[in-house]
Structure 1
């Protein structure tokens, strides 16, 4: 916690808003998406989705995995508690919705479904998109799928899988995802592995969002490696997320932005 507080103070010191941005691409993203405060009717559905989970007192067996498919730990947890501690916040869900709505990606990949709080925002942002979401824990995935079906998020395919093996298949087949939300493993090693495995699939319009880039010193190191990769042209640090773009027409620039 102390590390994150120090990181946040450093972030605030260096962060800017749209008035300090001279990139037309980023300025448009900030003014028309990030800082768009207009009420969206979809926000009501996102809140209902969250509210139901927070009221769900049932328990499930949650399994976390280590390398490969080896079980790292397993424990019984209440669904409401998972939603409260592991789910995306209301503010972040709304921003994620706006980002998807702004870029309108035809195909989306989410690495780390959990109970589907972020999934619902991804799905609502552009219902015409094909959304694939990956989860390693079968019971958590089952609950997410039931909840998503209940709210008629019909463009979502839930896949129970070990992340690395699935992404290796994406690499081999050069599967294209226009937007990828990385929220499956907050370790430097795994984050860099996922990044490198998916690099061959990028296009000029690709948008990648990495969650919890200031979670630990290791995640900050991973973020530095990612944003400095030669194929990354534009990167945006919002403290909670790191967004990267691969637009060949853009000069290489890094932005630290308050949201």
Structure 2
């Protein structure tokens, strides 16, 4: 069950009160300190930001209707199987703040193989691909009409390092991982339910390495997603996790002698 707006606000207040400041002061983990100071707090106005946000602005005014084959937890905004591009851009696309954070992660850590579960209109895919143009970005989308629109958007932005895989993750993810043995960065932003989220994590595990980062979307969206996040960070392979409320990041770095968890204010 998705949290109500009141429940979500209470969750966020609790997070905000207990989270570490976003300056990195007093942070004893070199990796997390570097993430905060070099990635989160990189306030450069990159050219890619304007390109992607111009696309977002265009999509927000697009009244074209698309048929949606929803294979996840659905939309919290509508139960219809038809949605306008503008409503998808408004309700399903990741906000600018987090799209640009993913861009900076790709730019700073230079992952060579990036996987995204949940293309939607391709806004975050574009940020990831532009963050490291030399990377191979594989993005996966279940709704065919949405995938078509995303491909149009990639062409509009002249992005050529994205491969889009269509179909339900449950039947396509194994094949993708079979041909991409090493995943450097993954953004899991589809099927916002506990069991599938934990299953995708388990499927990804054989393909991670010391420097891999997995980013999970909407970790406090529902009780099920909170449980999934809790179970994921407790896994023995995870050495460090960072809770940014709207997204959660896990690392597998061996330099962490003991498991470490951080909650950081965004």
TM-score > 0.5, shorter chain as reference = yes
Partner of 1:41: 47
After superposition, what is the alpha-carbon deviation per residue over 1:35-80, rounded to whole angstroms, capped at 9, x for unaligned? 111221211112112111112111111111269xxxxx86221111
Partner of 1:258: 265
TM, length-normalised to structure 1: 0.94
Deviates more, 1:98-107 or 1:158-167: 158-167
Q: Does 2:101 match 1:103?
A: no
After superposition, what is the alpha-carbon deviation per residue over 1:74-123, rounded to whole angstroms, capped at 9, x for unaligned? 62211111101111111111111111111110010000001011111111
Distance 1:42 1:174, change over 3 A: closer
Partner of 2:10: 6
- Structure 1 unmatched runs, 5+: 68-72
CA contact (8 A) 1:167 1:198 kept: no
- 2 CA distance for matches of 1:140 and 1:127? 23
Structure 1 counterpart SS, 2:69 = strand
- 2 CA distance for matches of 1:16 and 1:200? 32
- 2 CA distance for matches of 1:195 and 1:136? 18
Equivalent positions of 1:1-259 (< 5 A) are 1-17=5-21, 18-65=24-71, 75-170=81-176, 175-251=181-257, 252-259=259-266
- 1 CA distance for matches of 2:64 and 2:216? 30
- Size of the aligned set, in residue pairs, is 254
After superposition, what is the alpha-carbon deviation per residue over 1:162-218, rounded to whole angstroms, capped at 9, x for unaligned? 102222235556721100000011100110010011111111110100000000111
- 2 CA distance for matches of 1:233 and 1:208? 12
Deviates more, 1:138-147 or 1:14-23: 14-23
- 1 CA distance for matches of 2:148 and 2:170? 20
Partner of 1:70: none
- Structure 2 unmatched runs, 5+: 74-78
TM, length-normalised to structure 2: 0.91
CA contact (8 A) 2:19 2:263 kept: yes
- 2 CA distance for matches of 1:154 and 1:172? 22
Displacement of 1:161: 1.6
- 2 CA distance for matches of 1:240 and 1:52? 25
CA contact (8 A) 2:194 2:225 kept: yes
